[in-house]
Amino acid sequence: MTEQDQKQLGTTLWGIADTLRGAMNADDFRDYMLSFLFLRYLSDNYEAAAQKELGSDYPKLDAGERRAPLAVWYTQNTDDTAEFEKQMRRKTHYVIQPVYLWSSIAEMARTQNGELLHTLQRGFDYIENESFASTFGGLFSEINLNSEKLGKGYAAQNATLCTVIKAIADGLEKFSTDKDTLGDAYEYLIGQFAAGSGKKAGEFYTPQQISSILSGIVTLDSQEPKTGPRKHLDSVFDFACGSGSLLLNVRHRMGSHGIGRIVGQEKNITTYNLARMNMLLHGVKDSEFEIYHGDTLTNEWDSLREMNPAKMPKFDAVVANPPFSYRWEPTEALGEDMRFKNYGLAPKSAADFAFLLHGFHYLKQDGVMAIILPHGVLFRGGAEERIRTKLLKDGYIDTVIGLPANLFFSTGIPVCILVLKKCKKPDDVLFINAAEYFEKGKRQNRLLPEHIDKIINTYQFRKEEERYSRRVGMEEIEKNDFNLNISRYVSTAEAEKEEDLAATHEQLMDIEQEIAQAKNKHNTFLKELGLPLLP
């Protein structure tokens, strides 16, 4: 499928969503629509694997027949279905019985079958609990098919589901929908729903342009970035992963086999489910990723609580876009937590440094961390100043990047990217002030590919450019009381042009002389005409 077709598919699906959601909140409708798209993906993938497994025994249907071929095979081979499903679990890692396949559900929607809602509910339950529990457990837990938002009473709810699913099925039929295409459509829809979600968008979506900067940074060789991208990352970690778009951006840059393990954590249950669907939709195998539902700040994940340094999980790359200036409740026990013990706790009013220290704790010795934070972390005092100062004295802050304002759906404030390394070589900090490099949009500003490439290239080669980037030694930073406010080191203001007073005076004298000559000439004409002369 061409890029134009992919964009058209996304636009078509968004048109369906925008038309059919009616008065329903965009966030609620998002969950229904993305779940149906995910069911379509699972079904297509499963049917393709089944056809390969059954070979010539896979039924061929007459033209125009809408039944699932697998449903025909099940009917004709009842004694063999158990063995077939066993094989499919081994090879595909999951099973979907024919009645729950997308083609069966879509046909029920087309015929306005009154049992669609019940069938869909049983299908979701089956996929969660019997298909392959370790991957799909609780995946549809936030999808309420009996919600009054779909209509009052079963009949109205069933009718709404029929309308929505039929529209999606008809829209998808116009396009070739391989797994990459469906994954791109899913990502496009997440972005569109984020655009309509305002502040809530920050809970689940990092704009692709910003994801591209972070992924471009962490996939370069951490010790010798000038040599270019790494060939392989053993692991990448996002501890506030939202819908997983940032992790997928890193994977896209590294290639489908370039990362050994993708690890994410997400507190919001709905967004956690979106992330798991997003991974699978982009062809990431269940054995290649792990997304955990839990609170990052309290370290609510047993796998990360390992006290033995030799067994503690560490990651080649850490990327994150945590909630900005999140209010939290640091307890006395957290003060002794291995993540914060050496630096102290971030203040209640802003957990920004708590998130940073969490991710940094799990970074490998030769790894790279890139995190999006509000500018306040660069200059606020108190506990944040103490943490920032120690990180600088320890030599861990490598680069500070200032981005333009109004890039996010959730906030219009400008943000920064901090790049941290445990074994950084240069004894300075690179400041990049990219605040004025963007394309203005109606609602959000945009970073164009050339803006993104300029940031990554400047970081990679630690370039210095007037009013854009500068390497600043620790002596200067210390003189500034470890304040990292970017404009202190890289100002975008143009220096006022010095005036040459002597030249200006001479120019004014010439002008005075020209005026006098012009007046004399004019008075000559006035005298001939007998008119009063100019004084």
CATH of the domain at 75: 1.20.1260.30
Judge if 227 and 179 occupy the same domain. no
Q: How many domains does the chain contain in total?
A: 3
Of 247, 221, 420, the residue nearest 321 (C-alpha)? 247
The reply to whether 499 falls in a domain is no
Residue 242 belongs to domain spanning: 199-489
Judge if 189 and 302 occupy the same domain. no
Distance in angstroms (rounded) separating the CA atoms of residues 219 and 230: 6
The 3-class secondary structure across 186-212, one letter per residue, is HHHHHHHHHHCCHHHHHHCCCCHHHHH
The reply to whether 516 falls in a domain is yes
* Per-residue pLDDT reduced to its tens digit, 192-246: 777 765 555 455 578 889 999 999 999 998 878 888 888 899 999 999 999 899 9
Of 299, 256, 254, 292, the residue nearest 273 (C-alpha)? 292
Of 420, 413, 421, the residue nearest 444 (C-alpha)? 413
String of DSSP letters for 486-513: HHHHS--SPPPPPP-HHHHHHHHHHHHH
- Residues in Cβ contact with 174 at an 8 Å cutoff, skipping those fewer than 6 apart: 12
- The number of residues making up the chain comes to 535
String of DSSP letters for 139-192: TTTT--TT-GGG-SSHHHHHHHHHHHHHHHHHHHHTS---HHHHHHHHHHHHHH
Side chain identity at residue 166, one-letter code: K
Determine the pLDDT at residue 499: 67
Distance in angstroms (rounded) separating the CA atoms of residues 499 and 515: 24
Pairing type for strands 363-374 and 415-420 reads antiparallel
473-480 long-range contacts (CB < 8 A, ≥24 apart) are: 473/427, 473/428, 474/392, 474/427, 474/428, 474/429, 477/392, 477/429
Judge if 67 and 127 occupy the same domain. yes
More confident call, 184 vs 3: 184
For the record, the structure tokens of 182 come out as 């469906």
The reply to whether 498 falls in a domain is no
The reply to whether 92 falls in a domain is yes
Judge if 186 and 308 occupy the same domain. no
First-residue to last-residue Cα distance in the chain: 82
Torsion region of 195: left, alpha or beta (phi above 0 gives left; psi -120 to 50 gives alpha): alpha
State the pTM of this model. 0.85
The reply to whether 86 falls in a domain is yes
The reply to whether 256 falls in a domain is yes
* Per-residue pLDDT reduced to its tens digit, 108-150: 999 999 999 999 999 999 999 988 767 788 999 889 999 988 9
Judge if 339 and 419 occupy the same domain. yes
Distance in angstroms (rounded) separating the CA atoms of residues 12 and 32: 16
Judge if 31 and 171 occupy the same domain. yes
Burial class of residue 418 (count of CB atoms within 10 Å of its CB; 0-12, 13-18, 19+): buried
Judge if 424 and 480 occupy the same domain. yes
Distance in angstroms (rounded) separating the CA atoms of residues 288 and 257: 10
Judge if 237 and 328 occupy the same domain. yes
Side chain identity at residue 514, one-letter code: E
* Among candidate residues 156, 179, 196, the one where a domain is terminated: 196
Average pLDDT value over all residues in the chain = 89
Beta bridge partners, 261, equal: 235
* Per-residue pLDDT reduced to its tens digit, 387-421: 999 999 999 999 999 999 989 876 778 899 999 99
Judge if 47 and 107 occupy the same domain. yes
For residues 455-484, give the mean pLDDT.
96
Looking at residue 62, the DSSP 8-state letter turns out to be: P
Distance in angstroms (rounded) separating the CA atoms of residues 261 and 250: 12
Whether 340 shows a pLDDT value over 90: the answer reads yes
Judge if 318 and 466 occupy the same domain. yes
CATH of the domain at 483: 3.40.50.150
* Per-residue pLDDT reduced to its tens digit, 365-391: 999 999 999 999 999 999 999 999 999
Judge if 277 and 380 occupy the same domain. yes
More confident call, 133 vs 169: 169
* Per-residue pLDDT reduced to its tens digit, 10-63: 788 888 887 777 767 777 788 888 899 899 989 999 999 999 999 999 998 877
Cβ–Cβ under 8 Å, residues 349 and 374: no
Judge if 175 and 230 occupy the same domain. no
* Among candidate residues 146, 181, 196, the one where a domain is terminated: 196
Banded pLDDT at 6 (limits 50, 70, 90): low
Cβ–Cβ under 8 Å, residues 65 and 103: no
- 206 — phi, psi (to 5°)? -110, 120
Distance in angstroms (rounded) separating the CA atoms of residues 16 and 295: 35
For the record, the structure tokens of 397 come out as 């802050």
The reply to whether 186 falls in a domain is yes
